[in-house]
Amino acid sequence: MTLLYLSEAKRGEVFARSFAQHLPDLPFHVGTAPDPAAVEYMVAWTPPKDLDQWPNLRLIFSVGAGIDQFDMDALPDHVGIVRMLEPGIARQMQEMAVMAALALHRDLPAYLEQGRQGVWQARANRPAAQRRIGVMGLGQLGQAVLAALQPFGFPLAGWSRSAKQIDGVECFTDLPGFLARSDILICLLPLTPETRDILNDDLFSALPEGAGLVHLGRGAQLNMPALHHALDNRLASAFLDVTDPEPLPPDHWLWRDPRVIVTPHVASQTDAQEGAAHVIAGIRAHRAGQDVPGSVDRSKGY
């Protein structure tokens, strides 16, 4: 059996060194494999469309936390998908989510616009205990973000389609009830057919007047015209790390709207060393007949 690596070259060099040290019995190939029939494992961002050339492929490891770039219908049923779980991804997402939530809580978009205009004007501070934060998506990243927010004293809630119990967090499966108590909404949902375009007119109209949006999920979950309308009629501000399209065109209205802060999809970036360790651990688990950490339930899309 061998592993075929099909991603960024510099990261591949780190992976190759880690495999040579920790899994030396597994041949590691970059770009091509001498014997395609020997390929059992693959590391890629987007795998090739025609996987028939690797008849014994069993697992594809994504180099990122998301797997929405995969065409699930094109993948053979016997091929498992594993998303990246290296711990740095969650730590970075905690940093970004806390920064974004505090930016909206403390009116940073308004102060940045005042700075551009040379206006010195204080706004009334609102205690954290009076600002309710809701997190959409209660997987690894959602729970990590909620844990990072707890010390600030915000009333916290989370929403997922399956019931969860998290200490210090009011958990919902009822979306309207969850939205009605979310003064700052943080989206960390995976992209699935059910979550595509979920941030739409109906959702925004269910939020409290003057709410803020922090979007750290996937760009295709956000309906741009709906956001524009909501900012004019209901939302106070938004912090977006993901957009559709990406990159965001230079003339897009989001760049010019003073109520919006945009960052270029930088919330989390995979550390190559930690990523290699995650893949090695997954292969060891697979060889031992154990559950592979990060395995994707293809019926759910995450």
Residues with catalytic roles: 218, 265
Which residue type, as a one-letter code, is found at position 279? V
| Helix segments in the chain, DSSP class H | 9-22, 87-105, 108-117, 140-149, 175-180, 201-205, 224-233, 253-256, 272-287
155-192: string of b/e by CB count within 10 Å (b at 16+)? bbbbbbeeeeebeebebbeebeebbeebbbbbbbbbbb
At how many degrees (to 10) do helices 87-105 and 108-117 cross?
60
Query: Could you tell me the CA-to-CA distances from 73 to 164, 195, 221, 286 in Å, in that order?
Result: 29, 18, 20, 23
- H/E element, 39: strand 39-44
Side-chain half-sphere of 53: how many Cα atoms within 13 Å?
A: 11
